[in-house]
């Protein structure tokens, strides 16, 4: 199993290109199920999650082809085409690898009139629930049956009818599934308290390019008038705001200066506001944004919440950075339970962090020390890499397959700005 070795303590300086957004790509890819024509996605990041999703779509009848990429370039162009749906069943063996697989449920139901998808691996309804997905689909005309670990959704008359649904809590995935299902319904659907994340805006833009009729894009009230059919389109995946925020934290924790090429600041205002409050200098320009850390880090009080507030996917990275701030920082995690699994590993490196339920108190320390640490999830993995970049001595991050799910060629990008980092294979 691969590990990442880091010798820390060196400020990072230079340019880092920001890749296409993982969370957008995994929502855009299943749109290919909605038409028999070609859907081409440009700037698609080369990530394990995208590869796994591609394999799932192949099983459902979607052909995928990737254009060649020049050496040194990031992203790729993938063309997807579902001339016909070969299967309406997404099996557990595929779905267990990634929770985003549930996003084939809505578009497959809309196109084929039925869809059977395994419950995501480790999922008990109510814990990172998919019940909101199911209630939203029922509201727009689906009949839902749960049996033997699978969700079976059907449109009684072959097509969904449309309808209204108000989300009791904001859910990104459920909003995405409902939008993809509603675009081919026979009538109008309205979604209230819908998620507003930039990735959902990106999804709606692709669907509109394919011929969908969606009003209220970017707001919490979406109105979708179903159409008879959709056609193909070409779409460029939006830049990854979480990757950009992560590398901004790399500048902060190492006392460096990084130019994040392609970062779109309007998608990440809560992140950039928090970076500025921590003492970093943020400069926006036509190519992206420059992040400079030339003063001691300041402590923060942060609480995660749905967009446009501070994202849960940046909590771990900020925690690592704030472990070196001058004072005490307070973090509150309101989105997911068990999202502090990186804390024991950061403590191994010398961080002083107290956790009480969904709150964490980060007592700033003078410095971190290299250690062998274990990654537990995608964003936790990045927090350990950040800590390793700032730590004195050597750090080994184990289970780096988590990183491969969400950060395109991370070692290459960091090496180019002065990090001493390499991947090593066991044995």
Q: How confident is the model at residue 96 (pLDDT cuts 50, 70, 90)?
A: confident
**pLDDT mean across residues, the chain:** 93
Residue 328, CA distances (Å) to 272, 298, 333, 360, 379 in order: 20, 9, 17, 10, 22
Q: What is the mean pLDDT of residues 300-328?
A: 96
* pLDDT one-digit tens code per residue, 332-342: 998 877 788 89
Range in 145-149, 264-268, 393-397 the model is least confident about? 145-149
Q: How confident is the model at residue 427 (pLDDT cuts 50, 70, 90)?
A: low
CB neighbourhood size of 147 (10 A):
8
Residues contacting residue 363 through CB under 8 Å, at least 6 positions apart: 328, 352, 353, 354
Residue 261, beta-bridge partner list: 17, 288
Annotated binding site: 22-23, 99, 128-132, 313, 335
Q: Which burial class, exposed, middle or buried, applies to 368 when counting CB atoms under 10 A from its CB (0-12, 13-18, 19+)?
A: buried
Token pair of 283, please? 């400069």
Confidence at residue 97, expressed as pLDDT on a 0 to 100 scale: 74
Q: What is the mean pLDDT of residues 152-166?
A: 95
Q: State pTM to two decimals.
A: 0.95
Q: What is the mean pLDDT of residues 322-350?
A: 93
Helix (H) or strand (E) holding 348: helix 343-348
Q: 3-state SS of the chain: helix, strand, coil percent to 5?
A: 35, 25, 40
* 103 within 8 A of 177, measured Cβ to Cβ: yes
126: pLDDT strictly greater than 50: no
Confidence at residue 303, expressed as pLDDT on a 0 to 100 scale: 97
Residue 277, CA distances (Å) to 156, 274, 297, 318 in order: 53, 5, 9, 12
Residues contacting residue 148 through CB under 8 Å, at least 6 positions apart: none
* 369 within 8 A of 350, measured Cβ to Cβ: yes
128: pLDDT strictly greater than 60: no
Residue with tokens 């009480």: 356
Annotated binding site for UDP-N-acetyl-alpha-D-glucosamine: 99, 128-132, 313, 335
Distance from chain centroid for Cα 419: 25
161: pLDDT strictly greater than 90: yes
When computed from its CA atoms, the radius of gyration of the chain, rounded to whole angstroms, is: 22
* pLDDT one-digit tens code per residue, 110-120: 999 999 998 87
Residue 331, CA distances (Å) to 272, 296, 337 in order: 17, 19, 14
Distance CA(407)–CA(393), nearest Å, equals 24
Q: What are the catalytic residues?
A: 123
Token pair of 225, please? 């008038």
Distance CA(169)–CA(32), nearest Å, equals 28
* pLDDT one-digit tens code per residue, 266-312: 999 999 999 999 999 999 999 999 999 999 999 999 999 999 999 99
Which domains does the chain carry?
2-18+239-425 (3.65.10.10), 85-236 (3.65.10.10)
Range in 57-61, 119-123, 321-325, 353-357 the model is least confident about? 119-123
* 226 within 8 A of 160, measured Cβ to Cβ: yes
365: pLDDT strictly greater than 60: yes
Range in 84-88, 146-150, 267-271, 305-309 the model is least confident about? 146-150
DSSP 29: G
Confidence at residue 121, expressed as pLDDT on a 0 to 100 scale: 54
Q: Which residues in 47-62 are b (16+ Cβ under 10 Å) and which e?
A: bbbbebbbebbeebbb
Q: What is the mean pLDDT of residues 218-237?
A: 98
Closest CA to 293 of 242, 254, 247, 325: 254
Closest CA to 153 of 161, 141, 168: 141
């Amino acid at each position: 199993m691969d590990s990442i070795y880091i010798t820390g303590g060196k400020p990072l300086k230079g340019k880092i290109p920001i890749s296409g957004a993982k969370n957008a790509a995994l929502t855009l890819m299943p749109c290919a199920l909605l038409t028999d024509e070609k859907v081409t996605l440009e700037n698609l990041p080369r990530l394990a999650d995208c590869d796994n999703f591609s394999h799932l779509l192949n099983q459902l009848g979607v052909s995928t082809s990737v254009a060649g990429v020049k050496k040194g370039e990031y992203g790729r162009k993938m063309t997807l085409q579902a001339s016909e749906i070969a299967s309406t069943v997404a099996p557990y063996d595929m779905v267990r690898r990634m929770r985003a697989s549930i996003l084939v449920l809505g578009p497959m139901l809309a196109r084929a009139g039925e869809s059977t998808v395994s419950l995501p691996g480790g999922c008990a309804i109510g814990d990172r629930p998919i019940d909101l997905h199911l209630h939203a689909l029922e509201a727009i005309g689906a009949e839902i049956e749960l049996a033997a670990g699978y969700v079976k959704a059907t449109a009684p008359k072959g097509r969904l009818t449309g309808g209204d649904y108000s989300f009791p809590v904001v859910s990104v995935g459920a909003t995405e599934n409902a939008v993809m299902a509603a675009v081919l319904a026979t009538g109008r659907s309205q979604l209230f308290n819908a998620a507003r994340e930039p990735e959902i805006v990106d999804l709606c833009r692709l669907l509109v390019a394919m011929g969908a009729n969606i009003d209220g894009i970017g707001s919490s009230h979406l109105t979708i008038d179903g159409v008879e059919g959709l056609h193909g389109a070409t779409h460029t995946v939006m830049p990854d705001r979480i990757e950009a925020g992560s590398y901004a934290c790399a500048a902060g924790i190492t006392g460096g200066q990084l130019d994040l090429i392609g970062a779109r600041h309007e998608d990440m205002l809560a992140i950039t506001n928090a970076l500025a409050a921590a003492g970093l200098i943020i400069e926006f320009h036509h190519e992206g944004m420059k992040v400079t850390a030339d003063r001691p880090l300041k402590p923060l009080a942060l609480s995660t919440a749905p967009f446009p507030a501070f994202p849960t996917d940046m909590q771990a990275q900020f925690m690592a950075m704030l472990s070196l701030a001058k004072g005490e920082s307070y973090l509150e995690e309101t989105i997911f339970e068990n999202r502090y699994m990186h804390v024991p590993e950061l403590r191994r490196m010398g961080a002083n962090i107290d956790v009480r339920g969904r709150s964490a108190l980060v007592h700033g320390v003078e410095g971190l020390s290299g250690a062998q640490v274990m990654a537990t999830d995608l964003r936790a993995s990045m927090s350990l890499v950040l800590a390793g970049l700032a730590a004195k001595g050597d750090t080994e991050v184990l289970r780096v397959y988590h990183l491969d799910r969400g950060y395109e060629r991370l070692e290459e990008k960091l090496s180019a700005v002065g990090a001493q980092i390499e991947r090593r294979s066991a044995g």
